[in-house]
Chains A and B, each alone.
Chain A
Amino acid sequence: MPKKPITFVLNGAERAAFADPGQNLLDFLRRGVGDLTPKYGCGQGGCGACTVLLDGEPVLACLTLAEAVEGRRVDTVAGLGGPAPHPLQEAFMAHFAAQCGYCTPGMLMSAKALLDRNPRPTREEVIEAISGNLCRCTGYEPIIAAILSAAASGARP
């Protein structure tokens, strides 16, 4: 089957690349487009390391067909922050919310989706928002604290 051209908006800029038929969005972003920030953890929806935003909603890129993003907006960690880190990234650093860091891109995108729709979440809402993201290292507590503190700081570029 021939490759299919996909045109979409990645982190605010229009992009076009070829996708293999049936290729998943994670593979497409990493190998077709060269955005290595979404991580491959399990490839089957179990870990959340590949979480990206599709039109602002968190999706598991490993379970999303590349073709599904045609004409739509995809956001990844590569688009977070500008010259300075995003407030969520600042908060993750301040709270030591990453050890090996493999879960961090997925955690950040899940957290961003939460704060975009609910700027002042409760602890329970934060837990709910990251419940699909596995972390082997931190014990989650510093991640929860970081997201709550980013929310409390109110900054939202």
Chain B
Amino acid sequence: MLETLFTGITGGQITEAMFRSIGRLLFGFIIASTLGLFLGYLIWRFKIVDETLGFLVVALQSIPSIVWLPLAIVWFGLGETAILFVVTIGATWTMTMNTTSGFKNVPTLYQRVAKTFGSSGFHLLRTVIIPASVPQIISGMRLAWAFSWRALMAGELLGAGGGLGHLLETGRSLGQMDLVISVMIIIAIIGTIIDNVVFTKLDRSIQKKWGLSS
């Protein structure tokens, strides 16, 4: 099995699938984060959006991402777009929710301080609202990536078009248990690296800078 893992990585089969998956993940994650930030802003800024979309997002957010796949297939056909859609959509709602609550919880005091210095509008958003929400935005991104990652694997497993999930399915159909396990190991490693290295570090540096932990 180690041999399969090794040749798979060097021979390019696993490596190629890996890059493909990570590319999709990045794409979905970046779109979801940007979209989530933007929607979160709209919900925070406009009461009417809060009362309509804000309410809807809470409901949408409770839908597991993969549930969107049938709909995505109907809309886009079983292919790249459908998978990217599924990867993006679930994470978007989580990101929106976290951004909204981050923005809404910015202490009035900070806003008042900024306003007495003459800040308003976009400047206030850029220099106070967003920085003050950074801890929550990061935890939103952490959740968003986890959502994307899980949705991606499920999507690739069911859909076509390469990637680690698809390789897993290939391994199963060929009866190659060593390939299946090798891919699982790779999946675990990628997940651990992103979660523990990237986000934990980011989180810790913020916590330290803000003095939230010692």
**A and B form one complex:** no
